[in-house]
Amino acid sequence: MTTVAQPETFQPTDAQLREVALSRAEYEQFCERLGRSPNRVELGICGAMWSEHCGYKNSKPLLKRFRDRPIKSAARVLVGAGEENAGAVDVGDGLAAIFKIESHNHPSAVEPFQGAATGVGGIVRDIFTMGARPIATLDSLRFGPLDDPNPVKAARNRYLFENVVGGVGHYSNCIGVPNAGGEVVFAKSYAENPLVNAMCVGIAHIDKIASARATGTGNSVILVGADTGRDGLHGATFASVDDPQASHRGVVQVGDPFREKLLIEACLEALDAPWLVGMQDLGAAGLTSSTVECASKGQSGIEIDVAKVSRREAGMTAYEIMLSESQERMLLIVERGREADAQALFARWGLHSDVIGRVTDDQLVRVMDGDTVEAELPHDILTEPPMYVRDGVEASHIRAARERDLSNLPVPDDLGATLLRLLAAPNIASKRLVYRRYDTTVQTNTVMGPGGDATVLRLKGTPRAIAVATDGNGRYCYLDPLVGGRIVVAEAARNVSCTGATPLAATDCLNFGNPEKPAVYYQLQQAVEGMAQACEALGTPVISGNVSLYNESAGEPIYPTPIVGVLGLLDDASKRCPAKFQRAGEIVALLGETRDEIGASEYLERIHGLVAGRVPDIDLDLEVGVQAVCREAISQGLISSAHDCSDGGLAVALVEACSGPFGIPEDDAAREVPMIGVRVELPEPCRDLRPDAALFGETQSRIVVSLPAASWDALSDLAKRHGVPLYCLGETGGDRVGIAPHLDVSLEASLGAYETGLEKALKGDS
Amino acid sequence: MNFAVVVFPGSNCEVDTFHTATSVFGQDAEYVWHEMRGPETLDRFDCVVLPGGFAHGDYLRVGAIAAISPVMEAVQAFAERGGLVLGICNGFQVLLEAQLLPGAVLRNNSLQHRAQWVHLRVESNQTPYTRAYEQGQVVTYPISHGDGSYFADPQTLAELETHGQVVFRYCGAAGNVTPEVNPNGSLNNIAGIRNRRGNVLGLMPHPERACEAILGGEDGRGVFDSLVGAMVSA
């Protein structure tokens, strides 16, 4: 047997361990399990695989909570969390929806355009790796305030915003996958640490779902796509340490969406080939994690020769080749003897490929450089990093903020003007400025695009459609991660239910600070608990996801920000329900109860400058009932529109459901815009509340619906049957937004504030 | 009728075009790979469509590399014989680069990609692509492009206008052609033009995305209805 290069002689210094993000104790554990000390290449491989990004060493014990109890709709789950590159659910007719959300936060903080672009590229590869054609991406973005009073900070936040949005658009437009939804939120906590979470949904034939398994001893390992360069070295470990500012642009990869598009087509074509055994994309930790994952899933071994890897530059070491994160590369396992067929297929698409190794049966990942063994490691050591269960403690200043007494807070004199200010707040205002830069209609499946509650995409060849929404609320999770976690799942599911679709499953991206800090660990633990409770109640198992920890700068963690994507199924696409009122003269009604809850609201932050108070409570049984009533009312054709009450409360939800010209000529020109205002009166139970709580409080489990008078009795019966409160509020129509007895403003001013708020913040004249 | 849908590396609307021609209009369609060459490549087709996308990544210049691909010789010959050639979005850009249509497109004046629905005025229904529309009819299609600002030198522009070669113009809901409703800075609000002979049409908006009510609009049907009608009456 060959011997491993530099055996026994390499003793890493503390600095060298820091470079690969391993502690001394972890290093010693690695040596012990290996039965010898590793060389430099092996240490680098271990550092990458044991990083939080690849190994989930802090989060895995917590993530188990998602699988604690059986979830009823789990019967539809074809591929669950952690099994493959993404999760899959059965959507009927032999089709699977395959989806996942992933972060690209750290690279985007350093090089926002390419960081965001390659974030899209990475998640799209996770989807087509499984044999699914990507049919939509959604992105959830977080930045510092565009209108920060400090001009230097505002300029920096705008720079990050412009370039992240530009990068997302650049990549997704070019690959021809509609970017059809998502969300954008601004808060100081994200100023130095923006969040870029991208979700991708694909559709595959169930019997063609591909696996990332290396099986069949002697089969070939082929690397396809871009040549390997020094870009992205240490990306996985970089994502697992504090303070992105301390890093540099060199670790950020540069994307080539054109090559990705070719890879999509070629890989989907390869799925039909008899010689394809397995497929795995190269993401974080490049060749290292892809070979280790394939060997581990196949319970086999892999031997590769880095000398056979085509490179962008001369002089690259085995270490660099193994840890490069050059984009647009795929690893294929191909039947022995059929290598030429595989290479010919990729060549037809203009893609270069190299046969770099073979599948073995020795449970080892062996890296050769010509005749030299550069690394030889058992894959199970690499895929079983040490696990840390820590003790979380809530930070006292956060508890104090939550318990702050808000009862003496003055109610604004002019509630109409307050509504206009809220509508123009960047967190509430229309995100048209963002999504008009994304191709939302390519692939001709987009039935309802961005701007509503959820994106609805038809499934061609079937009567069905899927609905997808992402949601997150860092402010809620900061003030109360348990309740915040419940709400994030509930709201994403509610958004899906508002279109008429039944939520089937969820994906999550957990964006948190440094878990080694008890206060951050507490947030992580509580948020996961809350999310798991809501997933159980709503019947939406978590089938995929990603964890992004160490989101801090200058020692300050970001708001704990779990982002949840929920996918639902609509049996009859023609019954989809829009968010906006459809015609004048219909009844406006509210499903759900309104309570005295202004804590943690956008109103409190925007108008009073406070991040404080109790997060709105959520009764998961009521939530389930409200969503069920909404879906049944839609499927029975009782209601004309349904819109979730969230940021900004009932008053903002009512305005968002209105329509009319709003003063942007090029967009006004685009559609015949009917003028539909709204006139309502707050129902009796709301009269006793603080007016600002009734209007702008963010009580959960509420949906604004509109319906013809003839449907009222049927809707009433339906609500009663589910034990869900239903209030008649008023009527659609007119050119005002009237909410008696508190406010009455013009529709034009309301929509104008809503539609131009983001642009004004961007230009600094808000 | 039989549509040829040309596929360049990086095309991304070829499936939409194929779907619309076959599933929505019940016509025949085949994909034609960019490396195909020779006169027989396109002989059996009634209409050649260059679809949208980012052919060859739009590297160098939008449409520039695709314009010199082998299949374009066949497209050129097909057009010279009077065959119907339709370029949509990136396909229009390729036709401009291949000089099958005059002028060029520049980066949008916003310097950003623009994806939205737009109103278009049908400036001429005297083409095989627009016969099903009324003259001056206002239709709604989606656009999605970063480089769609039509440009030509004053003489070329004057000739286009004189010979009625401007087929679609960006307008408001009432058909008003004003700078405010121009999404990309195109000269004279030009959204689509034809060649002098009338058999080659290029436009930035996407009629193939506007042929089914479930997608938010059916105004694009006129283009396919016109083509199918042209073939029946021919």
3-state secondary structure at position B143: strand
Identify all chain B residues contacting A446, using CB atoms and an 8 Å cutoff. 215-216
Same domain, residue pair A319 and A204: no
Which residues of A are designated catalytic? 53, 104
| pLDDT (0 to 100) of residue A687 | 87
**Cβ pairs A/B, distance under 8 A:** 112
Instruction: Say if CB A309 and CB A356 are below 8 A apart.
Output: yes
Q: Of B9, B114, B178, which has the smallest distance from its Cβ to A262's Cβ?
A: B9
Average pLDDT over residues A320-338: 94
Nearest C-alpha in B relative to A575: B214
Beta strands B84-88 and B200-203 are parallel
Beta pairing partners, A726: A591
Identify all chain B residues contacting A166, using CB atoms and an 8 Å cutoff. 112
Same domain, residue pair A549 and A519: yes
Give me the percent of chain A exceeding a pLDDT of 90: 85
Residues in chain A: 766
- A253 within a domain of the structure (yes/no): yes
Same domain, residue pair A181 and A235: no
A134 close to B (CB below 8 A): no
Exposure pattern of A134-159 as b/e (b: 16+ CB <10 Å)?
bbbbbbbbbbbbbbbeeeeebebbbe
Identify all chain B residues contacting A169, using CB atoms and an 8 Å cutoff. 112-113
The residue whose two tokens read 């700078």 is B179
Same domain, residue pair A223 and A355: yes
Would the CA dihedral through B55, B56, B61, B63 be positive or negative? negative
What confidence category does residue A669 fall into, taking pLDDT thresholds of 50, 70 and 90?
Answer: very low
Identify all chain B residues contacting A254, using CB atoms and an 8 Å cutoff. none
Q: Of A175, A176, A436, which has the smallest distance from its Cβ to B116's Cβ?
A: A436
| pLDDT (0 to 100) of residue A470 | 97
Of A333, A353, A385, the one marking the end of a domain is A385
A411-424 tens-digit pLDDT: 999 999 999 999 99
A interface mutation test: which of B35, B54, B62, B108 has the most A CBs within 10 A?
B54
Same domain, residue pair A675 and A766: yes
Least confident of A128-132, A381-385, A431-435, B229-233: B229-233
- Flag whether pLDDT at A552 surpasses 80: yes
- A630 within a domain of the structure (yes/no): yes
Residues in chain B: 234
Cα–Cα distance measured from residue B10 to residue B27, given in angstroms and rounded to the nearest whole number: 25
A519-541 tens-digit pLDDT: 999 999 999 999 999 999 999 99
What confidence category does residue A674 fall into, taking pLDDT thresholds of 50, 70 and 90?
Answer: confident
Which residues of B are designated catalytic? 89, 206, 208
Instruction: Say if CB A203 and CB A569 are below 8 A apart.
Output: no
- A439 within a domain of the structure (yes/no): no
Domain ranges of chain B: 2-233
| pLDDT (0 to 100) of residue A72 | 65
- A288 within a domain of the structure (yes/no): yes
Give me the percent of chain A exceeding a pLDDT of 70: 94
Same domain, residue pair A737 and A657: yes
Question: ipTM value of the model?
Answer: 0.96
Any residues with CB less than 8 A from the CB of A359 and at least 6 apart, and which? Answer: A214, A215, A216, A217, A218, A219, A220, A221, A295, A298, A300, A301, A302, A333
Query: Cα B214 vs. chain centroid, distance in angstroms?
Result: 23
Three-class SS of B41-102 = HCCCCCEEEECCECHHHHCCCCCCCHHHCCHHHHHHHHHHCCCEEEEECHHHHHHHHCCCCC
Domain that holds residue A534: 71-209+446-576
A439 close to B (CB below 8 A): yes
Instruction: Say if CB B61 and CB B99 are below 8 A apart.
Output: no
Instruction: Say if CB B144 and CB B115 are below 8 A apart.
Output: yes
Q: Of A261, A435, A669, which has the smallest distance from its Cβ to B10's Cβ?
A: A261
Identify all chain A residues contacting B13, using CB atoms and an 8 Å cutoff. 176, 442
Q: Hey, which residues 440-479 in chain A have their CB within 8 Å of chain B?
A: 440-444, 446-447, 458, 460
Average pLDDT over residues A174-186: 96
Q: Where are the beta strands (DSSP E) in chain B?
A: 2-7, 28-33, 47-50, 84-88, 104-106, 114-122, 138-145, 149-151, 166-171, 190-194, 200-203
Nearest C-alpha in A relative to B90: A174
Average pLDDT over residues A574-596: 96
| pLDDT (0 to 100) of residue A240 | 56
Cα–Cα distance measured from residue A646 to residue A704, given in angstroms and rounded to the nearest whole number: 11
Which of A446, A441, A489 shows the shortest CA–CA distance to A465? A446
Which of A599, A535, A559, A598 shows the shortest CA–CA distance to A185? A559
Beta strands A587-591 and A703-707 are antiparallel
A98-130 tens-digit pLDDT: 999 999 999 999 999 999 999 999 999 999 999
Q: Taking the C-alpha atoms of A6, A8, A12 and A18 in order, what is their torsion angle to the nearest 10 degrees?
A: 90
End-to-end CA distance of chain B: 11
Same domain, residue pair A650 and A681: yes
Same domain, residue pair A507 and A420: no
Q: Dump the DSSP string for A430-462.
A: --HHHHTTS--STTS-EEE-TTSSSEEEE-TTS
Give chain B's contact residues with A (Cβ, < 8 Å).
9-10, 12-13, 15-16, 19-20, 23, 52-54, 56-59, 112-119, 140, 142, 144, 146, 171-173, 178, 180-183, 206, 208-209, 212, 214-216
A595 close to B (CB below 8 A): no
Is the pTM higher than 0.90? The answer reads yes
CB contact under 8 A, B54 and A174: yes
**Integer angstrom CA distances of residue A594 from A547, A591, A683, A685, A732:** 34, 10, 10, 8, 20
Q: Of A256, A441, A665, which has the smallest distance from its Cβ to B144's Cβ?
A: A441
Residue A758: give its domain's CATH number: 3.90.650.10
Classify domain B2-233 by CATH number: 3.40.50.880
What confidence category does residue A764 fall into, taking pLDDT thresholds of 50, 70 and 90?
Answer: confident
Same domain, residue pair A610 and A593: yes
A626-662 tens-digit pLDDT: 999 999 999 999 999 999 999 999 999 999 999 886 6
A interface mutation test: which of B215, B218, B219 has the most A CBs within 10 A?
B215
Residue A556: give its domain's CATH number: 3.30.1330.10
- Flag whether pLDDT at A284 surpasses 90: no
Any residues with CB less than 8 A from the CB of A400 and at least 6 apart, and which? Answer: none
Instruction: Indicate the number of domains in chain A.
Output: 3
Instruction: Say if CB A583 and CB A640 are below 8 A apart.
Output: yes
Which of B47, B39, B44, B41 shows the shortest CA–CA distance to B17? B47
Cα–Cα distance measured from residue A359 to residue A276, given in angstroms and rounded to the nearest whole number: 13
B62-107 tens-digit pLDDT: 999 999 999 999 999 999 999 999 999 999 999 999 999 999 999 9
A682-738 tens-digit pLDDT: 998 888 899 999 999 999 999 999 999 999 999 999 999 999 999 999 999 999 999
Of A548, A576, A604, the one marking the end of a domain is A576
To the nearest whole number, what is the mean pLDDT of chain A? 93
Of A576, A611, A638, the one marking the end of a domain is A576
Same domain, residue pair A177 and A268: no
Same domain, residue pair A470 and A494: yes
Same domain, residue pair A517 and A598: no
Query: Cα A36 vs. chain centroid, distance in angstroms?
Result: 41
| pLDDT (0 to 100) of residue A7 | 53
| pLDDT (0 to 100) of residue A511 | 97
Cα–Cα distance measured from residue A503 to residue A497, given in angstroms and rounded to the nearest whole number: 7
What confidence category does residue A67 fall into, taking pLDDT thresholds of 50, 70 and 90?
Answer: confident
Instruction: Say if CB B31 and CB B14 are below 8 A apart.
Output: yes
Instruction: Say if CB A395 and CB A403 are below 8 A apart.
Output: no
